[in-house]
Amino acid sequence: MNDAFQQQQFLDVIDRDEAERRFHAALDLRPLEAETVALSAALGRVLAKDVAAPIDVPSFDRANVDGFAVQAADTFGASEDRPRLLKLNAEAVTTGMTPRGTVAAGTATAIATGAMLPRGADAVVMIEATDVCDDRLVLRRPVAPGANITFAGTDIGRDEVVLRRGEFLTSRETGVLAALGFANVDVVMKPRVAILSTGDELIAPGESMKPGLIYDSNSRVLADAVRELGCEPVMLGIVPDDEALLVETLQRALVHDVVLLSGGTSKGGGDVSFRAVGQLGPPGIVAHGVALKPGKPLCLAVINPSHVAKDVQGVAGAESSKPRNESPRGHAGASRSLSPGHAVIPAVELKRPVPVAVLPGFPTSAIFTFHEFIAPVLRRLAGRRERPATLVSARLPMRVNSERGRTEYLLVSLVHDSATREAEFVAFPMGKGSGSVTAFSRADGFVVIPRQREYLEQGDIVSVHLLGADVQPADLVVIGSHCTGLDFLLGELHGRGVTSKVLSVGSTGGLEAAKRGECDLAGVHLLDPETDTYNRPFLTEAIDLVPGYARMQGIVFRRDDGRFEGRGLGEAIARALADPTCVLVNRNRGSGTRLLIDRLLGSARPSGYLTEARSHNAVAAAVAQGRADWGVAIEPVTRGTGLGFLALRQEQYDFVIPKARRDRPAVRAFVQLLADQSTRKELARRGFPIYGEPGA
C-alpha cells in the first residue's frame, strides 16, 4: 500500500452516521449462537430462548401458617362466645408429605406451615384461634375461603412464559430458574474480543519506566469495558511498529468475534495499523477518518470469512482453535513483541464477518470511539439490548468553542444548579483533551456539539448524556387479560428489541387501566350481554380499539373422566353440576373468562367455585394434575397436554389503547407486528386466527 493510498484513505473524512452505516452494513449483527451453561454460571448472561415453566410454583396448594385445614363454610359464625366444634381427623399433615385423607364437611386436619393442603379443604385456621378438646377442634374465629393458603400456580403457572429471550440474568432471574428446577440454561455465547496495542513507545504496567515510553492503559480500559458489556476480552499484548508482524498477529486474531487495536491510526508515515488492516481482505477498511472530536483518526474495517487465510503461523492460532469455552492462552501477555512460531496451524473457520477497529491512541479518544462504534456492535452480538441515552438538562457556565465540521463530545462534570430554575444542573467542561487518562473516569456525562456549531454560549441549556446509567423502564406496559397469543406477540417484540412489562389483572382491570392512561395497551375479551358483542360496547372517547384475533373457549377435562368424555356440552355441564365431588377450577374475578363462566353457571355454585386461577395455563394445569376436574380455558393451552376439550364459545380478543399513547414507538411497533401477514399466519397456526379471516 503506497503513501498516496494512505493519504487518500485518511483525508476522506466522513460523517459519524455514515461511518456507522457503512460499518453495520458489512456486519452480521444478529446475536451469536446459543450455548448451554450450568445455572451456577448463568449470572450476567443473556437468555437465548424463552423459558416456560415446566411446573406450577408453588406446585401444590400449601398452608401459610401452622393450624388446621378446614372447609371455610364450617367456620362461619364462630366467635369467642359461640365457638364452632369440628371433628379432628387423625392425620396430621407435615411438610414433605402427601395427605392421604380428605377434609369433609364438619372435620379439620392439623397442618404445618408449608405443608400440602388436603383435598376438600379450602382454608386454614391459625392455631392461635383454636383449642383442641379430645377429638374436637374448638374454633373461635371464622375464616374466608382461601384464607392462609397459597394455591398451586399462584406465583407461576405451568407452561407460562416466565423469562424471554434477550433477558439479562440477574440474581432475581436465576432465582426464578432455580425455583422451576432448571439446572442448566441456554444463553447467548459471549463474544470474544481480541485486544492488542501497537507502538514502539508502549510498555506493560509493571515494567520499569524509561524516557520516551508510556504505560499501555488502553488495553486495560478496553478489556474491562468489553467485560462490562458481558463479553470476553482476550489480551494479545503489545505489538511494535512492525507491519509484517502486525499483519501476522491480526490474522491469528481473526478467529475471535471482534478485533480491537489502539494506536497507530493517522496519516503519519510511521503509523502502520491501518495499513496492516488493509491487507487482511475485503471488504476491508470501510472508514478511516471520521468527523469527530475526539476520535477523528478512527479506522473501521470488516473481514469476510471467505477471505481469511486457511493456515496461519504461531502458537496463538493454535490456542484460539480451542473450544469456545476455553480462552486462548498463547498470546504475548506483557511482552514487547510477538515472536512468530514455526508450526503451520489450521485456522478456525469463521462463520460471520469479523469487525476490526483501530481506535485512536489517546485514551479519551479510544474510549469515546469504543462506546460510540464498538459497544453497540458488542451488545447486539451478545444479545443485549441497546441502551438509550439517559439525558438531563444542564446550564453551561461558560462559552465553549468547537471546530466546525466535526461532531464534538464535550466531557462535563455536573453540579446542582441553585441559581436558576431553567435546569437542575450546571455542566462544567472538563477541558483536559483527548490525551487525558482521567477525564473520562471523572466525568458525569458529555454534551454533543453538532458539527454545524462553532460554539455554545454561556448560559445555554444543554442535554447531558449521563455515563454509566444502565437501568431502563420497559418500553411497553401491558395490563389486562392473560393470553398465550399475546405472549407470542410480546416475545416477537422482545426479539426486535422492544421490552415489555405485563400485568395480568383480567379484562375489566385492563380496560379501566387503559381509561386512566396507566398502560400502553390492554388485552380484553369482554362480552356485552345486551348486544352479544365483544369489547366495542365498552369503548370511550379516551381509548381506541385495535382488532385482535379469535380464540375458542371451552370446557377442559381429563380424558378418562366419563362425566365429560364423549358427552355433548349441555350434558357434560349438567353431569358436572349434579355431582358434588366434581371440582371446578374457576377464573379470577374481573376476567372475561370469569364472566363467561358465571353466565354459563347461572345461580349454580359447584364445588371449587371459590378457587380462582389467574391464567388459562393454570386452569389446564389444575385439571391435568387432578386438583380440579374441570374448568374453562382457551383451546391452545390444552395442546400437548392430553386433556379433553369441549368447545363453548369463540370469542374476540382485542387490544385497547389509550389515545394519548397511540403514537408511542413501542405501541406503533406492536400494531405493526399485529398487522404483519407472517405474524397473522403464525397466530392462526397457534390457534388464534384473525377474526373474520378463513379459519376464524
In this structure, the answer to whether residues 116 and 23 fall within a common structural domain is: no
β-partners of residue 35 are 187
- Examine the domain organization and report whether 372 and 415 are in the same domain: no
Query: Tell me, what CATH number does 428's domain have?
Result: 2.40.340.10
- Cα angle 626, 629, 634 (rounded to 5 degrees) comes to 105
Alpha-carbon distance of 580 to 567, in angstroms, equals 19
CB 355 within 8 A of CB 23: yes
Same domain for 26 and 48: no
Q: Give domain status of residue 413, yes or no.
A: yes
Q: Which of 511, 514, 519, 444 minimizes the C-alpha distance to 476?
A: 519
Question: Residue 194 sits in a domain of what CATH number?
Answer: 3.40.980.10
Tell me: do 539 and 681 sit in the same domain. Answer: yes
Position 516, amino acid: R
| 459 shares its domain with 518 | no
The whole-angstrom separation of Cα 36 and Cα 628 is 36
639, part of any domain: yes
Q: Tell me how far apart the alpha carbons of residues 356 and 376 are, in angstroms, rounded to a whole number.
A: 14
Q: What is the largest CA-CA distance in the chain?
A: 105
For residue 549, being part of any structural domain is answered with yes
Residue 543, beta-bridge partner list? 658
Q: Are residues 543 and 567 in the same domain?
A: yes
Residue 386 lies in a domain: no
Of the three residues 336, 352, 381, the one that is the final residue of a domain is: 381
Q: Give one DSSP letter per residue of 607-647, joined into a string.
A: TTTT-EESSHHHHHHHHHTTS-SEEEEEGGGGTTTTEEEEE
Give the CATH number of the domain where residue 554 resides.
Answer: 3.40.190.290
Last residue of a domain, one of 315, 349, 381: 381
Task: State if pTM tops 0.75.
Answer: no
Strand (E) positions, 240-298? Answer: 258-262, 283-288, 292-293
Total residues found in the chain within this entry:
696
Hunting for cell 410454583 — which residue is that? 57
Total domains in the fold of the chain? 5
Residues 176 and 224 in one domain: no
Cβ atoms of 653 and 524 closer than 8 Å: yes
Q: Tell me how far apart the alpha carbons of residues 182 and 392 are, in angstroms, rounded to a whole number.
A: 42
Element (H, E) at 669: helix 665-675
What ranges in 444-589 are assigned the alpha helix state H? 484-495, 507-515, 569-578
- Compute the distance between CA of residue 143 and CA of residue 160 in angstroms, rounded to an integer: 31
Q: Which of 381, 408, 438 is where one domain is finished?
A: 381
Q: Is there a single domain that holds both residue 363 and residue 336?
A: yes
Q: Identify the domain containing residue 552 by its residue range.
A: 473-696
Residues 390, 471: Cα–Cα separation, whole Å: 10
d(CA 524, CA 514): 11
pLDDT of 147: 95
The helix/strand/coil state of 271 is coil
510, 528, 653, 660 from 515: Cα distances, Å: 9, 18, 18, 10
Q: Are residues 562 and 605 in the same domain?
A: yes
User: According to the model, what pLDDT value does residue 421 have?
Assistant: 60
Buried b (16+ CB within 10 A) or exposed e, 444-471: bbbbbbebeeeebeeeeebebbeeeeee
> Do 509 and 656 sit in the same domain of this protein?
yes
Crossing angle of helices 484-495 and 665-675, in 10° steps, is: 120
Q: Is residue 372 part of a domain?
A: yes
Q: Is residue 208 part of a domain?
A: yes
Q: Tell whether 582 is covered by a domain.
A: yes
- CATH number of the domain where residue 44 is located: 3.90.105.10
Query: Distance between CA atoms of 530 and 540, rounded to whole angstroms?
Result: 18
Nearest 5 degrees, angle CA 527-CA 531-CA 534?
Answer: 30
Residue 647 confidence (pLDDT) = 93
The predicted pLDDT at position 687 comes to 92
Show the low-confidence residues of the chain (pLDDT under 70). 1-11, 264-271, 306-350, 415-423, 431-442, 468-473, 692-696
Q: Would you state the torsion angle of the CA atoms of residues 56, 59, 65, 67, taken in this order, to the nearest 10 degrees?
A: 140
In a domain, 371, yes or no: yes
Q: What is the DSSP string of 365-421?
A: HHHHHIIIIIHHHHHHHTTPPP-PPPEEEEE-SS-EE--TTSEEEEEEEEEE--S-S
- Same domain assignment for residues 195 and 339: yes
- Tens digit of each residue's pLDDT (9 = 90 or more) over 646-655: 999 899 999 9
pLDDT, residue 579, reads: 94
Query: Domain check: are 331 and 318 in the same one?
Result: yes
C-alpha dihedral, 16 to 20 to 22 to 26, nearest 10°: 160
